[in-house]
Structure 1
Amino acid sequence: MISSESITDYLARLASRQPTPGGGAAAAVHAAQGAALVGMVARYTTGPKYEQYADHVARITTEADQLVVEALRLADADEHAFQGVIDSYKLPSGTDELKAARTAAIQDALVQAAQTPAQLITLAGNVVDLAAELFDVANPNVISDIAAAADAARAAATTARVNIDINVVAIKDGAARSRLAEQTDGLEDKVVLAADSLTKRVRERILA
């Protein structure tokens, strides 16, 4: 499981000639890193100098830590879901009945595999929102990490979008495709715009 292995082991598996983990899991790790960076900046925004923001920062810290846990859960879930797609393609198809059952299993697995990246885009948006909340009060010595968090979340969202797309194009059920479109279309654009805006604000403050 990605959530419990070393970064070295995870990267070795990611680089191997194996289908999992892949881009979906990597996207979730991007989001986890973004949330962790928000948590780090929040922890540096403490002490007497920031006492008036203590409750605000404490809440952000707690929420950032929760997002790390949830992002890693989604990394594991994505790996599991994609393995389900792979397994469904390996089902027997020697008879018409088996062929129909295999086709149905593949379609179900593809729909399920699109759910995890959809959830991840929402989570990535939450990371950017938290980083933006922290920006105005953050310790200026680590303000660049606000931008790093936003960029990590942006990468998570755009990568997750591609993983949704590659599953959707293989789904034959028009109703299922429509539901996924309603659930996800345009979501990553909001995350990208918010992340780009926040990164620009950080750079402007650094260079002012």
Structure 2
Amino acid sequence: MPKSKRDRPVTLSKTKKKGREHKEAIVNAIRQAVEDYSSIYVFKFENMRNLKFKEFREKMKSTSRFFLGSNKVMQVSLGRSAADEMRPGIYKVSKLLRGDAGLCFTNLAKEEVERLFNEYEDYDFGRTGSIATEKVELKEGPLDQFSHEMEPFLRKQGMPVRLNKGVVELVADYVVCEEGKPLSPEAARILRLLGIKMATFRLHLICRWSPSDFELYIDAPGDSDVESS
């Protein structure tokens, strides 16, 4: 029987990567946005959730445009110093693109942008490595929230469980996670099963730039240098 073409292995190292053309397209799009919108904001994100961010972006679609990705590419687009900046003072924006940051170009009034960003937050399940916001401990005894089919899965997560007359039962107290410590893969799975959400997706405004104004919202390392430049 001939081999199915579907079974052919694919070497991931040979897949096409985003190259120079992609970066140039982003640079051109950002530079065009500088011309099209009246103000620019740098924002940082906490516990990013792509679907939730897409929903937030859709709310502002008619008046704004967002960019996330390589900070270096965004910096180059705006200019990394006073010598190569696109507009006077815009390099200050570039210097604040560090870590989990993005750009928002908008024609909305300052007060409206601040309201939208400050009011938005969404709760979700914590992922592996995120910090637990509370201690979760399960006490010895029956776990009525789980069906008997879940017993093998729970045991694989390290929980000391057994079936007792068709009921999943903890044979000893079990600490799922400790407050302030990173979640293990097993803890993240168990918390999801328990319906306990520990991650809050938030967006924090860092600065605002317009042709006539530059404003810092929160302090960050190096911000004093930007303000005094």
TM-score by length of 2: 0.26
Choose 1 or 2 for highest CA Rg: 2
TM-score by length of 1: 0.28
| Higher share in strand | 2
